Structures are given as C-alpha cells and as structure tokens.
Amino acid sequence: MTLLLLSNDANRAGAQLVLLHLMRLLKEEGVQMRLLLGEGGSLLDEYRALCPVTIWTTPSPFVTNAVGDKVLGKLGLWHQLNERKSAQQQRIVQQQLDLDSVDLVLVNTVTSSRWFRELAIPAHIPVVTFVHELAMSVRIYTRPDDLTYLLQRTTHLLAVSDTTARYYEQHWGFDPARITRFTLIDTPAMERAVGLASQQPNIYAELGLPNDALIVGGCGNAEWRKGNDLFIAIARQVIGRSADQPGAAQPGAARPIHFVWVGVPAGTLRDDLELDVQKAGLAGRVHLISPTPDVLRYMSRFDVFVLCSREDPYPLVVFEAGLSGVPVVCFADAGGSPELVESDGGAVVPYLDLDTMSSEILDLLQQPQKRQAMGQRLGAKIRERHAARQSVDTLLSLFAQLTP
C-alpha cells in the first residue's frame, strides 16, 4: 500500500508530532509513504528519515518582476501567464508525488486544505482527513472554499475528540457515519520522557523560586486562543485569595504560589503580557518562559496545570500533565479535554468562569493529597484509553476497508 500524507508544516507542535509518531508506526507495518508539506520546520529531518518529503514551494508574487508585471498587466496578459505558472508548479509537484501510484491520501489538519485543493487528486483515490481543529482555528488557518472542497472530497473523517466530531457534523454537515474518533498518543515514549525530566536538577532554581513554591503551570503557544491573558488574570485571583482568606493557614496554603507559562517567545504579545504582570503587582510571581525543549522539566514539577485555552481540540499538554501526575483544570465548551479530565482528573469549570477556575486551583493547592490522587487518576485514564497499538490497528483496518 502506498500512502500520500499531507500536512501544513514540520514545526514541533501537537498535530505534527502526532503525525510523526503515526508515520513511525505505519513504517513498521510496511506501509509505503510520501509526505507533502506546505512548509518546513524543525521536524523535517525526522520526517525525511521515514519517507520522501516534498515541500510546496511558495510561489513568487511576480510572474517576471515588479516592472515586467506592470507591463504584462497593461497588456492584459498577467492573469493568463500567472495561471500558466501556477499550473506548471502543480504539474511538477504531482510528478514528484507520483499520484498515479497512490492508493490513499491522509490529510493531517484542515490547514492542509489549501494544498490539497491544488493537487487535483484523482477521483478514485480515497481521502482520509484527520481533523485537529475547531471553529477558531478553522477561521484563522483555512479559507471556507478550500475546507469545503476538502470535506466534500473526504471519504472518512478522523476526529481527535467527541467535541471535534460534533463540530464537523453540526457546522459542516459531515455524515456522522463516516467519522471515527481517533487519537494517537505515544504514551510509552511520553512516560519515558517525563521520567527522565523528573530526574533532572530542579530547573526552577534558575528562576530563583523557593524550594517550597507551589507551581501552577500553563504551556503552549503565545496567542489569544490559548488564553495567555486569562492565565495572568487567574494568577491575580489565586495569589490574592491565598493571602487574604482565613484558609491561608491550612496545610500547603502558606507556601508561596508561583505561576509559570512555558512557550512565550519574545515579541509584542509577550511585552503586553509582561506589562499586565507588572501592573497587577505580580512581578516575581508570574514567569513567562520562552519555547524550550526542556518543557517537561518544568511540567514534571507543576502542582496544578491550568488549561485556560479558549479552544483546544485535544492538546498533548494535558497528556504530558497527566503522565506527570499533575491534575488539570480546564474550561467546558473549549475542546475535548473535559472528556478526559472529567471530575476525577482535576476540574472542568464553565467557559471563561475565571472565578470558579481560581477557586478550583486554590482548592487543589491547599489539598496535597487530593491533587496527588487526581493527578494519578488522570495519568491512569490516559494509559487506559490511549494505547498506541489499538489506535494504529483501527487505522489500518479503516485503510483496508477504503482501498481495493
């Protein structure tokens, strides 16, 4: 069997890491693969170690050059020549991918719809689309006509959570009989990485945090969807209440509370967030860490993980937290995490209810036995529900059904 894979880029992020793990498992099963990427990234060499990789070349904005294009425009020839140039690029990519020998196409993320539409995949080839995105990401990273084309051409849809499946059924009219819930997590490798990280020296010493600090953690890209701004508002409430309420004398509550978000690069948003930290009187209590390969060294020493994303279909960071024995507090109606966290792996609070979220975090900080039990239960559920072997068997069975 020959499988053509499409993905938006090779950046080290959730959907791309899931694809890398999937490719490794498929190669072990003898599946021949080719990968088309919209852009490169840090995972590119690891992808190339598994199969041939083609990167869709970003077209020049000019047919000739700035001056020549003005002349072509005045002659009424620019659009014709630009379409000819685009068609030539499509032919080159199609030849590199050898589409006539492909048995099935797997599209990883709806962001890839822009390149899928350009390929003109033959009608007899089945298409499986693996969706990791909900409404906000769809609006940001796709165009409606591209996504409509992809979904109309999709033979079967893989959704990372029940929430994600319902979104494509209700908002895009996709047939629920052709949707399979599918999540592929390399749980053993993640556990090994967590174990190694926990054995490393305490990384918080570099930040000057006291040894007895209680740490509320966040992790992810710096963007509005992830709720970095909400993280600071929650820190203001939790730290303020811990100092003011009578319960501050309870075991554990007297320990200093610090909030640490891993994954905020230098830039305008970071500057804005740091200004909020200063104005809220949280300097030295809220720490914004740049993207780092040491993320698990931070994660493994969190006491509570707060997922304050406005939208996150089924983020890997929740799995990393659970396998680190850390309970998770998240919003309802913001993605699939509540399906895993439930009432025994942390807390699920009403969407954007920062008051309740802060109360739940403080409750866990004040009750070490409770948070330990919930963190362990979350890890146990991940191991029970996300066996990689079972997931790949499900996928191979689907491939067999869709191909002659």
CA dist., res. 268 & res. 273, Å (int): 9
Q: Which string of DSSP letters, residue by residue, matches 103-130?
A: -EEEEESGGGHHHHHHH---TTS-EEEE
> For 2-185+387-402, which CATH superfamily applies?
Glycogen Phosphorylase B; (3.40.50.2000)
Architecture of 187-385 per CATH?
A: 3-Layer(aba) Sandwich (3.40)
Q: Are strands 104-108 and 2-7 parallel, antiparallel or unpaired?
A: parallel
pLDDT of 207 over the 90 cut:
no
Considering the entire predicted model, what is its pTM? Answer: 0.81
List of residues 6+ apart from 27 with CB closer than 8 A: 33, 50, 51
- Least confident range from 15-29, 181-195, 202-216, 249-263: namely 249-263
The pLDDT of residue 69: 55
Higher-scoring residue by pLDDT: 332, 89: 332
The pLDDT of residue 246: 45
Residue 325 region by backbone torsions, left for phi larger than 0, else alpha for psi between -120 and 50, else beta: left
The pLDDT of residue 56: 80
| Within this chain, domains 2-185+387-402 and 187-385 share the same CATH topology | yes
Q: State the average pLDDT for the chain.
A: 87
Residue 59: CB atoms within 10 A of its CB come to 11
Q: pLDDT digits over 24-72, tens only? A: 989 989 999 999 998 888 899 999 999 999 888 655 454 456 555 565 5
Determine the average pLDDT of the residues in 341-362: 96
- Least confident range from 98-102, 112-116, 125-129, 130-134: namely 98-102
For the chain, the structural domain boundaries read 2-185+387-402, 187-385
The pLDDT of residue 370: 96
Determine the average pLDDT of the residues in 378-384: 93
Q: pLDDT digits over 219-277, tens only? A: 988 889 999 999 999 999 999 988 644 444 444 447 899 999 999 999 999 999 999 99
Contact 355, 331 (CB under 8 A): no
Question: Averaging pLDDT over each range in 60-69, 133-142, 147-156, which range is the top one?
Answer: 147-156
Strand, coil or helix: 35: strand
pLDDT of 189 over the 90 cut:
no
The pLDDT of residue 345: 95
**Count of H-run helices and E-run strands, the chain:** 17, 13
